[in-house]
Each structure stands twice: as C-alpha cells, then as structure tokens.
C-alpha cells in the first residue's frame, strides 16, 4: 500500500466512527446527531461560564471595593437554604444521569448546579462568620472570586476539549 491509500482508509474509518457527526450516517443518525448536539451544548455552556465569571468577578470586586457588609434577612435566609439544598440535590441527579447517559453536557450542567448550591450556602456562611467576627466582612467577596476562578477554569477546560473535536468533526463532514 502507498502512503496515500493509507490516508484514505483512515479517513473512511473516521467517517464510519460513531464519535463523529455526519449528515449522511447509516442507521445511527440519531445517535450521532445527539453527539453533535452534546458538543454544541458544551461550547455554549463553556461560553456561559466565561460570561458568568465576568459577572461574578464584577460583583465580588465591587463588594470588596465598597466594603459591602453581608446582611441576611429572613427572606434571603430562606431562599438561600432552599436554593442550596435543591441545587445540591439537582447536581447529584444530573451527575448520575450524565454518567449513565454518557452526556458531558448533562455532567457540565450538574457542575453548574453544584456551583449554584455552593454560592447559596456561601451567602449564609459569610453572614454567620461576619456576625461572630465583623473583621471578616470580606469573606463573601473572596468566596465569589474563588468561585469565579473555578468557573473560569472549568469553562476554559470545556472549550479547549470541545472546540477541537467540533472542528475535527466539521473537517470529516467536508469529505462526504
């Protein structure tokens, strides 16, 4: 075999591989299209994570610069508890379903729910710490910056992993 024919065989094998999106698939079109939707969803979630990071950073830096003191009234306390519990439960369910269904988008959404639960509980923790030690007024803003860093890292990781696969998929679709 010549080097050119090996390349053609490899391209044909890749076109038949279920991991790649293709408009002209045989039999497994819905499964393959679901994988394409999963990749697009991961890219959208990655971008949303980056935008969320900017918003969280802006709020946290503003709170730290203006020395905003954490205050929790009864309504915010109730909402934070309910939100924290529900987001935590929802994240566990999404993680489990994501593993069973092998859905990276669902696992990523589970991560987003987990972050929401952590943020809800962090409001309560920072207010309680402030009540016992007013010198730690900056805890809420600091936690916000740390959560922003985690979301930023996860969003970048998600985009770095997903975009090359989408480009690779697009290149293989061009051969058909």
37: pLDDT confidence band, cut at 50, 70 and 90? Answer: confident
Q: Which of 27, 73, 39 is nearest to 161 (CA)?
A: 39
pLDDT at 29: 57
34: pLDDT confidence band, cut at 50, 70 and 90? Answer: confident
Give the model confidence (pLDDT) of 94-113 as tens digits.
Answer: 999 999 988 999 999 999 99
pLDDT at 8: 36
Gap between the terminal Cα atoms of the chain: 23
* Mean pLDDT value across residues 44-54: 95
Residue pair 147/116 in contact (Cβ under 8 Å)? The answer is no
Q: In this prediction, what percent of the chain has a pLDDT beyond 70?
A: 77
175: pLDDT confidence band, cut at 50, 70 and 90? Answer: very low
Give the model confidence (pLDDT) of 114-162 as tens digits.
Answer: 999 999 999 999 999 999 999 999 999 999 999 999 999 999 999 999 9
pTM: 0.74
Dihedral angle sign, alpha carbons of residues 162, 51, 61, 127: negative
pLDDT at 32: 63
């Amino acid at each position: 075999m010549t080097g050119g024919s090996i390349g053609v065989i490899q391209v044909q094998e890749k076109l038949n591989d279920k991991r790649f999106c293709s408009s002209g698939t045989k039999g497994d079109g819905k499964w393959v299209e679901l994988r394409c939707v999963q990749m697009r969803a991961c890219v959208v979630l990655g971008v949303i994570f980056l935008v969320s990071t900017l918003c969280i950073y802006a709020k946290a830096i503003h709170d730290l610069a203006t020395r905003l003191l954490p205050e929790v009234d009864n309504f915010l306390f109730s909402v934070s508890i309910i939100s924290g519990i529900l987001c935590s439960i929802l994240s566990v369910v999404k993680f489990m379903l994501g593993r069973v269904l092998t859905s990276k988008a669902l696992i990523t959404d589970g991560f987003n729910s987990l972050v929401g639960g952590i943020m809800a509980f962090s409001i309560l923790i920072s207010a309680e710490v402030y009540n016992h030690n007013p010198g730690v007024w900056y805890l809420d803003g600091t936690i916000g910056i740390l959560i922003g860093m985690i979301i930023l890292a996860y969003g970048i990781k998600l985009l770095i992993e997903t975009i090359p696969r989408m480009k690779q998929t697009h290149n293989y679709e061009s051969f058909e």
